[in-house]
Structure 1
């Protein structure tokens, strides 16, 4: 069976793919900046605290959105997931600004905490790159009313997005003493 892209897919799919490549590349480039420009004069903890709060709220919204979907409250599910997406976009913009503004802070923990921290951090970073296209495609399919495709991809998106949000909070908690 041959599948063809409809008109909106011919625009949306390349845009989603481009964003999915551009976002991690931009973050990587900004992390490697030789010089920082503290645009807002923010203290080192300001951005990470804000990011921790955004990740926490995103995780809460994801769980609420899942609940609404499970009880077939689809309008509330849609609105909650759009809010979670909005918080993620705010996080991404703020994260980019933080990479421009502040030097990276090394983790100072030792022993078993160090291994746990780096496991959480590495899985968080890898899945953060993977979640961008998953969220974008899931949102696109849901908002287009392609609920079967939406549900199929959401089965993967939800647990990965929730993991990224929760581990974002954990990374902040691990790093908090070093800011």
Structure 2
């Protein structure tokens, strides 16, 4: 990894966060024109299901990464967490592709369920996902720009203790939202 990144992890985290959130809000608010992406109806139809599988896999990997680091299996931890971050990127890319072309999925259930269950769950899921973006970039950049022996001298552990549970809850709520949108209603 480039030494400039190692020396400027907070700044790089900030730039990556701003760019990521610009894409997220650009897609969600329909600022990004749908004409910039090719339309593939088959892919669009499977994205919610694929993202549910990605989310469940990420939950398993994040949990495994947590287990591995508690048992001093650092390389396994690193592999699990970097892989789960890759899944997060894939999830987000697929989600943004679908939302840019189709907009958000409408909730077809009863209004009372939508108001008192679905929308609060969705709001917490979205808020946690937004909060996780800079935390994940930060801990990932600290980990990948240093040898393992140097990571212990950084804020990686302290921030990861906040990021990992929030990330798990965000993915879990995403699965609940999926079930409400595509299975139950």
TM-score calculated relative to the size of structure 1 = 0.86
The 1:84–1:124 alpha-carbon spacing in structure 2 relative to 1, beyond 3 Å, is: same
Aligned to 1:42, the other structure's residue is in SS state helix
- 8 A contact 1:48–1:172 mirrored in 2: yes
Q: Does 1:146 align with 2:151?
A: yes
Structure 1 residues 178 and 45, CA, compared in 2 at 3 Å: closer, same or farther?
farther
* Cα separation, 2, equivalents of 1:167 and 1:68: 24
Point out where structure 1 has 5 or more consecutive residues left out of the alignment. 1-5
Match of 1:173 in 2: 179
Give the deviation of 1:157 after TM superposition: 0.5
* Alpha-carbon distance in 1 for matches of 2:66, 2:183: 33
CA–CA distance in structure 2, aligned partners of residues 88 and 60 of structure 1: 13
- Find 2:24's aligned residue among 23, 27, 36: 27
Cα distance, 1:41–1:156 mapped onto 2, change above 3 Å: same
CA–CA distance in structure 2, aligned partners of residues 32 and 51 of structure 1: 20
Aligned-residue offset at 1:135: 0.6
Superposed CA RMSD in Å reads 2.3
Partner of 2:58: 58
Counting only pairs closer than 5 Å after superposition, residues 9-20 of structure 1 correspond to structure 2 as 9-20=6-17
| Worse overlay, 35-44 or 93-102 | 35-44
- 1:159 corresponding residue in structure 2: 165
Deviations 1:10-31 (A, max 9, x none): 4433221012122122221212
Q: Deviations over 1:121-148 (max 9, x none)?
A: 0001111111011011111222323224
- TM-score calculated relative to the size of structure 2: 0.83
Distance 1:100 1:178, change over 3 A: farther
Cross-structure match for 2:131: 130
Is the contact made by 1:108 and 1:178 (CA closer than 8 Å) also made in structure 2?
no
State the aligned residue count: 174
